[in-house]
Structure 1
Amino acid sequence: MNKQLPLILASSSVFRRAQLEKLGIPFESAVPDFDETPADGEHAQDTALRLSTGKARSLTARFPRALIIGADQVAYCNGRQLGKPMNVANAQHMLAELSGQRIEFFSAVCLLNTVSDRLYTHVDHTVVTMRNLSNIQIRRYLEREPDAIYCAGAAKSEGLGAALLHRIDSSDPNALIGLPIFRLLDFLAVEGVEIL
């Protein structure tokens, strides 16, 4: 493992932290200082990539000798970006709109070497088809999965949210949770970080 450069996760997400912990490598989490407002007319894929790199770069002054992981996820359906609902009422409305719909999730990951300024980026594209959901099913789901309000599209797929889904098409099942692990492993290997 690259002993000189510590690994920093530029995220306050408990979900991404849990994903990275499963790899069994030491890292530190740091809250990025970056405006996550989508730009007008920006495609969801571009938003996810801009936010992931912006989060990583926002920590360069604090970690001038590090490998910083940035990540972001944007959900897209019916011509618009979907954020995190952040409360139950918004989540109920969002899930009612998404019932039976096809949703695209763009999950971006980057790895920034703050010494060399090398930046590796990738955006994973996952397509999810939602089941047709009744208002009662949505209410029960949100009662039993309160953290769903912090997930893009209110669908916490790694938990009870799996019951909302009819189909997932993805090259990396980790990406839907928020961190495209497969490509991140490639980036870390190039920087000398061995996982196995």
Structure 2
Amino acid sequence: MSLGIILASTSVFRQQQLSTLGINFIAAKPIFDETPLADESAAHTAFRLAVGKAQSLAQVYPQHLIIGADQVAWCGGKQLGKPMSVAKAQIMLAELSGQQIEFYSAICLLNTFSGSLKTHVDKTVVQMRELSSEQITRYLAREPDAIFCAGAAKSEGLGAALLVRIDGSDPNALIGLPIFWLVSALMENGVAVI
């Protein structure tokens, strides 16, 4: 039995990533409160939100494979969200200049036919370059979508120039979707990715 694939995300970046696999899917907006809980670790926030997003669509899409994903950045003892404005992005990038940031990219695959749930959290450690206020201003002018990225660093674009080093097991995870894990999970559920 071939199950339809749902991406529980409105993220253009995640949709583009999933499209590279050449599989048919529908992107659907999850109905889930994404507010972090008090004293919650970044890894747990990302995990909880990824699973919550997928589960929020289970009733709407029975007999489907639902992909839930979320990413949380951590630096200086606090979680970093998406700045959502240029002003907030400037402040965030100034604080992150020269710092090491941990990105937790959580993903799950919920099979609403069998009820099985597979989960994974990928950790990527990034070393930011020392940035001047002029460099930050130029970067945000040239990469306006960065305000929609955790930590304001759109690594798949000009944001790569902000970085000195990336340590992780899947370069796709930093963009938001751990593709290496996802391919295995999809294949285990009968999807002929390759």
Q: TM-score range by the shorter chain?
A: over 0.9
Structure-1 residue corresponding to 2:171: 173
Secondary structure (helix, strand or coil) at the match of 2:174 reads helix
Q: CA RMSD in A?
A: 0.6
Structure-1 residue corresponding to 2:188: 190
Scaled by the length of structure 2, the TM-score of the pair is 0.99
1:65 is displaced (CA, Å) by 1.2
1:164 is displaced (CA, Å) by 0.3
Structure-2 residue corresponding to 1:98: 96
Residues in 2 aligned to 1:186 and 1:44: alpha-carbon distance in whole angstroms = 25
1:61 is displaced (CA, Å) by 1.0
Q: Could you tell me which amino acid in structure 1 is paired with residue 84 of structure 2? A: M
Structure-2 residue corresponding to 1:40: 38
1:131 is displaced (CA, Å) by 0.2
Secondary structure (helix, strand or coil) at the match of 1:67 reads strand
Matches within 5 A, 1:50-129: 50-129=48-127
Residues in 2 aligned to 1:62 and 1:145: alpha-carbon distance in whole angstroms = 36
Seq. identity, %? 68
Residues in 2 aligned to 1:60 and 1:180: alpha-carbon distance in whole angstroms = 21
Gaps of at least 5 residues in structure 1 are: none
Match of 2:19 among 18, 21, 27: 21
1:116-162: CA deviations, max 9, x gaps? 11000000000000000000000000000000000000000000000
1:181 is displaced (CA, Å) by 0.3
Secondary structure (helix, strand or coil) at the match of 1:75 reads strand
1:169-189: CA deviations, max 9, x gaps? 010000000000000111111
1:168 is displaced (CA, Å) by 0.3
Q: Could you tell me which amino acid in structure 1 is paired with residue 100 of structure 2? A: R
Structure-2 residue corresponding to 1:49: 47
Give the count of matched residue pairs.
194
Structure-2 residue corresponding to 1:142: 140
Secondary structure (helix, strand or coil) at the match of 1:128 reads strand
Gaps of at least 5 residues in structure 2 are: none
Residues in 2 aligned to 1:114 and 1:38: alpha-carbon distance in whole angstroms = 26
Scaled by the length of structure 1, the TM-score of the pair is 0.98
Structure-2 residue corresponding to 1:10: 8
Q: Which runs of 4+ in 1 moved over 2 A?
A: none
